[in-house]
Amino acid sequence: MVKEFEIVIAIENDRKRIVEFLRASFYKHEPLNVVNGTTNGPDSDAIYSLSFLSEGKSLLALSKSGQIIGVCLNGEDTPGMIKNRKDYMSRQTCNSYSRILDFLNKVEHSVDVWKLTGADRALHIHLLAVDLAFGGRGIGRALMERTRDIAQSAKYPLLYVLCSSFFSAKAAEKMGMKCIYSLPYSAYTDDTGKPYITPPFPHTQVKILIQQLL
């Protein structure tokens, strides 16, 4: 069988192509952005996950013609970086993203992954996206498995991902990652009990998944 794609390390020079891909193939379908009405995505300077390109641990899936058909943006995570992420995104994004930021902050503070695992650093999968035209071909899983290989080679004790999408969580679970926290979107409600976030099916919950590597 002829391989339909290859996986390569993403570099800083890929930034513009990655942003174009995310606008065409990620933000239009990512559950939180769909509900929030921000399907064009933030300004490129406010895409937090792009700040990790310089680490050399992010990946692209390329078609045989060299087209980007998948992206996995990865970076080192440590106990103090949840606050750093919130501060960075709060500075860079407008009020239209406040609901997403508040929700993600609640989720990440609902479980202490460092205390739970004893790890002091992790490789964090910040963003995973696959072109819908190439869905169902194992590209997302292949990107995550290659990320795990990178983490193991760099002696990271932990692989970490927060999944807002049913499909990314499914890919993570298929490669053996363990869910340590989940929150149904229906349970995130206002004072009247009305859900703040109601993504389309099958996106019913957000999950934090990990895999201990050492």
pLDDT at 1: 39
Category of 63 on φ-ψ map: left (φ > 0), alpha (ψ -120 to 50) or beta: beta
Nearest to 52 by CA among 31, 76, 69, 35: 76
Full-prediction pTM beyond 0.85? yes
pLDDT at 43: 83
Average pLDDT along the chain, 214 residues, taken 10 residues at a time = 83 97 96 92 86 96 97 95 60 65 89 96 97 93 97 98 96 96 94 92 97 95
Domain 5-212: state its class: alpha beta
The full set of domain ranges for the chain reads 5-212
Please list, in sequence order, all residues whose beta carbon lies within 8 angstroms of the beta carbon of residue 207, skipping any fewer than 6 positions away. Answer: 162, 163, 169, 172, 179, 181, 182
- Other CB atoms within a 10 A radius of the CB of residue 31 amount to 23
pLDDT at 93: 52
pLDDT at 58: 98
